[in-house]
Amino acid sequence: MVTGGGSLSAAAQQAEQLKLLGNFYFKKEHFGAAIDAYTEAITLCPNIPVYWTNRALCHRKRNDWARVEEDSRRAIQLDNKSVKGHYFLGLALLQRQEYTEGIRELEKALDLGRGADPNGYMVEEIWQELAKAKYIDWESAFVKRSWELQHLKEACELALTEKHFRDVSQMEGFIDQAEAEHSKQLLALERVFRGAAEADMHTEVPDYLCCRITLDILRDPIITPSGHTYERAVILQHLQKSKSDPVTREPLHPSQLVPNLAIKEAVQAFLDKHGWAYKP
């Protein structure tokens, strides 16, 4: 007779075998068969988050975003620190053009991914998707702001023109003066709206927000004892080959790297203001 504990153990072992089978089918791009295998594993052990995220990935490959969302949410319920759960949920929400919620989930996945494995492939992949999402979100808002700005400008021009006609009718003998004043006001109006439009355009990323090695915008900045800031994954890779600061050549150990929270906040503020100017 098999005990209750033995039955659970047998079910867990069978579920793991089904997961491995699903992984095999996934690599062969037999996504339907992989989904079936993961589904059987879930039936046996429904409280294992990875089974849900594995199945969500298969649904993603088939562009079945409703099921991606369902499985991702279930994985997050089981483990709120599931990187893939938040990542896949973010992607599914973006497909529904729920940009605010989708971006929030991707940011959560990025933070969790950095904490778990700063050099992992998932961190770079999540960053790229987050960059695209924020750019699309900013671009959509930019188009709306541009239309509103143009509409406001036209309304102001119309109001100035109407005022000009009233002034001309009341300033007999001073028409030239009225024309000059009208032209002056239109030029001032043009400068104001041109400045507003330019302030909303993309801009170059300042040097101090870029990694000293790659010259790319910082994503996970750390600072060394010498005061130089680098991208965490890049400096760690450098330290595998050389045990010194790339700029000062002073001895440097990974334990001496400290998160540069000030620069991280500055990067986020810059990207929020300029529409994720780093377009992947």
Q: Tell me how far apart the terminal alpha carbons of the chain are, to the nearest angstrom.
A: 60
From 118, 124, 115, 66, select the one nearest 91 (Cα to Cα).
66
From 1, 68, 62, 74, select the one nearest 33 (Cα to Cα).
62
Kindly indicate the confidence band of residue 234, based on its pLDDT and cuts at 50, 70 and 90: confident
pTM for the structure as a whole: 0.63
DSSP classification of residue 224? -
Is a pLDDT exceeding 70 seen at residue 118?
no
CA 50 to chain centre: 23
- The sign one gets for the Cα dihedral 247, 249, 253, 255 is negative
User: What distance in Å separates the CA atoms of residue 135 and residue 156, rounded to the nearest whole number?
Assistant: 31
Kindly indicate the confidence band of residue 44, based on its pLDDT and cuts at 50, 70 and 90: very high
Residue 257: strand, helix, or coil: coil
Residue 230, strand partner residues: 222
